[in-house]
Structure 1
Amino acid sequence: MPLLVLWDIDHTLVDTRGVGRELWAEAFEEVTGRSMREQAKVDGSTEAVILRETLRLHGLRESRDLFERFAQALGAVHVRHAAELRERGRALPGASPLLAALAGRDGVAQTVVTGNIRVAAEVKLAAFGLDRYIDLSIGAFGEDADERPELVRTALRRARTPSQDAVLVGDTPYDIEGGLSCGVRVIGVATGRTGADGLRAAGATDVVADLADTEKTLKLLTK
């Protein structure tokens, strides 16, 4: 049976250990001319939403042009600091062997549904050797939509895959809600700020503590 696996990135596959926020602040200052005093909530949000709310916290007005310039700057700082990201960040336990195991199965395609802009997503995955397993051409990114459900729909459309043949893996209630709203089965991973109970309460089909047990997670993904 064909299977499309939709991966979230941050706190599901990788942990930037603070580098991501530093790069975000650098791009924010480059585009606005202001030092970032505080950042809006990022868990489960897209870059457009995070920027809009962060601008509001600084008394600044949003515009589509500003977001486009910010997205370009954010991509550029990720490229410039890719080595630092690789040195300080990490792939979460089990991520690489699980992606490799799925890549070796006939009929399985893997991509991402992420609030990151595409360049940032590419850099984060490549920093830890995960990009080799992911088909980014059918993914959905922070430039594509503001809300998770629309990102999921975008990925399904690009992959030409019905919702019943897809499974989404993420660490926040927003990931879960986005998948469920599109009829996609969802596996919650308790490696972010939301614990297992919170992910179950959000409606996750299954929940795992992390991705370290490759065989267990494979069975859940492919059942």
Structure 2
Amino acid sequence: MPELVLWDIDHTLMATRGLGRELWAQAFHEVTGIEMREQASVTGSTERVILRETARLHDITYSDELFESFAAALGAVHVRRAAELRERGHALPGAAAVLARLADKGVRQTVVTGNVRAAAEVKLAVFGLDGYLRLEDGAYAEDGEERPELLRAALARSATRPDKAAFLGDTPADVEGGLGAGVRVVAVATGRTSATELRGSGADTVLEGLADTEKAFAAISCARTGGVAG
């Protein structure tokens, strides 16, 4: 059993069903004064990278100051539209049950996400998942650009060795980041990437989803297997 379980958020624990892009575009407009015509790829990326590349697509000069303003705006937009997020989005099947099962066993849990922290906190609270997580130990877009960097930040904050942790995510970038940080990776095929692709990325275990609580709990608990659980 790992001492610490690190969770990706979007498409691993929840889905916002298109609202996430709307909120992002609103924050982008508020900060830059420009309507977003095109957004850079978001799959497996972090808000800092997405903003830099989206700014480039709109001929806007990126800076740390721009990111800080955008992060504040994005968090505020999530707060203002939390009710809409609750109505349109949802926690993925089994997410709350698996979080609760791990918490009952005394396993520490937090998040490693490309979201800015304020937005992540709103999302998790809206779907009732925040109570299982030590968000102060997590890592967010403010902490870096790439997954290994974020994972190392979360491990340091929680004072946990990589070999005592497991990371759950839904993209090849999550898998590569987890392996790069030296943690065991359980990939879930609940996003845009198939179980076959996730296994090919090198995930230690691949789940079709979290709906089967017992199967998910066993996958998180067990040693490295390289298998696929249905």
Q: Specify the code of the residue in structure 1 equivalent to 2:165.
A: A
The question of 1:82 aligning with 2:66 is answered no
1:46 match: 46
1:67 match: 67
Q: What is the CA deviation profile of residues 58-89 of structure 1, one whole-angstrom value per residue up to 9, with x for unaligned ones?
A: 11110111110000000000000011000000
5+ long unaligned stretches in structure 1: none
Q: Specify the code of the residue in structure 2 equivalent to 1:149.
A: P
C-alpha distance in 2, partners of 1:155/1:221? 18
1:123 match: 122
C-alpha distance in 2, partners of 1:128/1:70? 24
5+ long unaligned stretches in structure 2: 223-230
- Whether the aligned pair in 1 keeps the contact of 2:2 and 2:166 (CA below 8 Å) is no
Q: Specify the code of the residue in structure 1 equivalent to 2:31.
A: V
Q: Specify the code of the residue in structure 2 equivalent to 1:222.
A: S
Change in CA separation of 1:86 and 1:148 when aligned onto 2, cut-off 3 Å: same
Q: Which runs of 4+ in 1 moved over 6 A?
A: none
TM-score when scaled to structure 2?
0.95
After TM superposition, give the deviation of residue 2 of structure 1 in Å. 5.3
The question of 1:139 aligning with 2:138 is answered yes
Aligned residues between the structures: 222
2:225 match: none
C-alpha distance in 2, partners of 1:125/1:182? 24
2:194 match: 195
C-alpha distance in 1, partners of 2:123/2:206? 24
The question of 1:181 aligning with 2:157 is answered no
- Whether the aligned pair in 2 keeps the contact of 1:3 and 1:222 (CA below 8 Å) is no
C-alpha distance in 1, partners of 2:177/2:76? 28
**Secondary structure of the equivalent of 2:141?**
coil
Q: Specify the code of the residue in structure 2 equivalent to 1:109.
A: R
Change in CA separation of 1:125 and 1:156 when aligned onto 2, cut-off 3 Å: same
The CA RMSD measured in Å over matched residues stands at: 0.8
Q: Specify the code of the residue in structure 1 equivalent to 2:116.
A: I
- Whether the aligned pair in 2 keeps the contact of 1:48 and 1:142 (CA below 8 Å) is yes
- Whether the aligned pair in 1 keeps the contact of 2:12 and 2:190 (CA below 8 Å) is yes
TM-score when scaled to structure 1?
0.98
C-alpha distance in 2, partners of 1:209/1:220? 11
Q: Specify the code of the residue in structure 2 equivalent to 1:215.
A: E
Query: Percent identity over the alignment?
Result: 65
1:55 match: 55
Q: What is the CA deviation profile of residues 22-60 of structure 1, one whole-angstrom value per residue up to 9, with x for unaligned ones?
A: 000000000000000110000111110000000011111
C-alpha distance in 2, partners of 1:93/1:86? 15
C-alpha distance in 1, partners of 2:176/2:59? 31
The question of 1:153 aligning with 2:152 is answered yes
2:30 match: 30
1:91 match: 91
C-alpha distance in 2, partners of 1:114/1:48? 11
- Whether the aligned pair in 1 keeps the contact of 2:2 and 2:221 (CA below 8 Å) is no
